[in-house]
A and B are shown apart, each in its own frame.
Chain A
Amino acid sequence: MAENSQETDEQLLDRIGRDVLLAQERKRGVLAFRSAVMFMAPAAFIVSAVLLFPVVYNVYLSFTKWKRFKGYDEFAGFGNYERLTTNHFFTEAFANTAIWVAASITLPLLLGLGLALLLRNVPGEGLFKTIIFIPRILAPTAVAVLWYYVYAPDGIVNWFLGLFLPGDVDIGWLYQDNTITPSIIATFVWQSVGLVMVLILLGLAAIPRDPIEAATIDGATPFQVFRHIVLPLLSPTILVVTILSVLAGFTAFDLLWVMGTSYPGQRTLSLAVFMYFEAFQKGSWAFGSAIAVVIGFVVLSVTWIQALLQNHIDKMTK
């Protein structure tokens, strides 16, 4: 029967014309492809013009000798990258950025997680969440200016400490080696913790109640529930938060630039500040572009490692 049916099909194809059918199929495919290209074209154009082209162009610039008005079209090979390896400001900037990344991952995450757990289902939850989230909607530069005055020698912080300490409190929070980085990090945490808290609250809301209730009935303590159920189920949210924090840490600029302006040392020199300083202040565009490429490469690498870790965690928890 099958052979007869196949023969019938073959006969049918012969009668209609196999080539005609194939041509019609190809035409439909071409039309579908053209439609898809037409619909994608605006988005593809915008992504290429706004995102891809500047990135590719920046990589190109990093291989030139462009400095102020000269060297725009002169090829430097890997000269700018070699210069990075011997520049001690780059080493300082890299070390400071590492501190920033570590702080921007751990502190907002721990505080955001704590606040999210603390504020869930408590009276006035909405008000508290709003208050904690407000700093996030302020421009980082405005926040930096605000805290610049808070930390001023005659600012609120010293005034407040003066209520408890003897004599005049005259700490130059933004003028001392040992206080400037913690002070700016505290400002960063103040501004970023609201968003982290909201993201974690969304993650918590998405966790099903069944496994938690089952574990509770089986006698699990709240910590055990958190450790073995909530935390693993929250890991996708935590991954998103850490990726955002890594990006924020590596690109830290506004707060450091504004609050560290008057500070002379290299403590506030992050990779992003170093890049801006070289490119915009000195006009070493090619060298600045090389720093930007390094930042991009490091961020991509770290994010890729995070994604691998997440895959690993997912497999372990299944």
Chain B
Amino acid sequence: MTFKTKIAAAVLGAGALWASGAAADVELVHDKGFWSEALQEMGDAAGEMTGNRIIETAYANPEQYKAFIYTSAASDDMPNMFTWWTGGVYEDLVDTGQIAPLDDVWDAMIARGDFDAGLRDFYSVGDHVYGVPLHLSRWVALYNKEHFKSVGLDEPQTWEDLVEDAAKLKAAGITPFHATTQDGWRGFIWFQEIMIRTNPEAYAGLHDGSVAYDSEPVRAAFEIWSDWYQKGYFTDPRSNDEVADFARGEGAIYLIGDWAVGLVEAAGMKSGEDFSAFIVPNMDPKLPSSTILEGAPLVLSVAGMKDPDTLAGLEFFVSVDGANAWAKASGNSIGNANAEAPNAIVEKINADVAEKGTIAIDRWWEAVPAELQGEFVAEFNRFMLDPTMDTAEQVMSNLQSLNEEYWAEN
């Protein structure tokens, strides 16, 4: 082979390699920076198993990310594959007409027996489904097994059990509940939980304006919340290291989505051994067992749907191999029934859900109109920092004032 022939062969070979590589790379744009490494690990697994490597592109925070997607929509140039939220902002996104329906993808997912047909509704708008789960998390009570053991407690089966357990923990010098205002968004968590345990109907009514934020069901929830604060049942809301604090033993019960299991493990606790989880019981035992369900959707733009590599990337994500790779990388479940549970806690909760016939309820964050989220959660935080009923009355009044204003205009 002459020198010229060698050069030509090298150039052709490099070109072919580049061409094959470029064709197989699929971009996934998201705002979940905390899962950046996990998503890339998962993307690498996709490359190894299917030849379509997923390259993740993370945006620093949700605000910047939303701004990027809004402006992309205005210029009709959305990314091929990206993550979003359910609720009102999801419907708004679908209304642009720039998101591809994934009915065929879901038909195949259900036909394989990977996903429950009911889950399809969670991502549907009107007659079509537009997203697949990036993660599917149930909001449960994580609990410190050592604390429970030291006081001789079992997982509470009734509301009365929960209240008694809290009293016993407090008497033993252990703060029962762990909750903070860290990052500004967490304030709604205990309000949401107390509302769905005491009056799920009123909870649903809050989100369409039919129930007022200064109504009796809400006041009753605040009374319970405030009473527990007065009894010293909650940890310091000013902590800015919530997960690590729980892992260090502050607070026996930590109410959060099961996506946090991986984070707690990373902070030093082992799921199943050091901590486990239970579904919080309802105040009225006649009410059906329920949990908050959170599931960020993964969507394709119309252009992304036309790109076979992008579609293959999405299909890998929801496959058994994809679900297992994602579970291994991030500790998250996407709800694929044939995949392995990512950790002992998700496995246990899945079993509890199956046994109790637990129903899913929309998370407050997605259910409340997007325009009210920020101001409302700030009011919940205000209460957590000064948890008296006087503050609760002010908070309820402020919430309802904003709520009335919104529903009068929309």
Chain A interface residues (CB < 8 Å from chain B):
66, 68-70, 72, 89, 148, 152-153, 172, 175, 261-265, 276-277, 279-285
Interface check B183, CB cutoff 8 A: yes
- CB-CB under 8 A from B89, the residues of chain A are 68
Q: Is the CB of B238 within 8 A of A276?
A: no
Chain B interface residues (CB < 8 Å from chain A):
63-64, 66-67, 70, 73-74, 89, 92-93, 95-96, 181-184, 187, 236, 238, 240, 370-371, 373-375, 378-382, 385
Query: When chains A and B are docked, how far (Å) is the Cα of A152 from the Cα of B66?
Result: 30
- Distance (Å) between the CB of A204 and the closest chain B CB? 42
Q: Is the CB of B95 within 8 A of A69?
A: yes
- CB-CB under 8 A from B181, the residues of chain A are 262, 264
A-B contact pairs, 10 of them (CB 8 A): A68-B92, A152-B240, A153-B236, A172-B385, A175-B238, A264-B380, A264-B381, A264-B385, A265-B378, A280-B64
In the A-B complex, the 9 residue pairs with the closest CB atoms? A264-B382, A264-B381, A280-B63, A264-B378, A261-B184, A262-B181, A69-B96, A69-B73, A72-B74
- Distance (Å) between the CB of B253 and the closest chain A CB? 22
Complex: chain A residue closest to B371, CB-CB: A282
Q: Is the CB of A282 within 8 A of B184?
A: no
Query: When chains A and B are docked, how far (Å) is the Cα of A152 from the Cα of B374?
Result: 23
- Distance (Å) between the CB of A277 and the closest chain B CB? 6
Query: When chains A and B are docked, how far (Å) is the Cα of A277 from the Cα of B238?
Result: 22
Q: Is the CB of A262 within 8 A of B182?
A: yes
Q: Is the CB of B63 within 8 A of A276?
A: yes
- CB-CB under 8 A from B93, the residues of chain A are 69
Q: Is the CB of A283 within 8 A of B238?
A: no
Complex: chain A residue closest to B65, CB-CB: A280
Q: Is the CB of A264 within 8 A of B236?
A: no
Residues A262 and B238 in contact in the complex (CB < 8 Å), given A69-B96, A277-B374: yes
- CB-CB under 8 A from B375, the residues of chain A are 89
Query: When chains A and B are docked, how far (Å) is the Cα of A69 from the Cα of B88?
Result: 12
Question: Told that A69-B74, A282-B374 touch, could you supply 4 new A-B pairs with CB distance under 8 A?
Answer: A68-B370, A72-B74, A172-B238, A265-B382
Complex: chain B residue closest to A176, CB-CB: B385
- CB-CB under 8 A from A265, the residues of chain B are 378, 382
- CB-CB under 8 A from B370, the residues of chain A are 68, 282-283
Query: When chains A and B are docked, how far (Å) is the Cα of A89 from the Cα of B370?
Result: 17
Q: Is the CB of B240 within 8 A of A280?
A: no
Query: When chains A and B are docked, how far (Å) is the Cα of A148 from the Cα of B182?
Result: 12
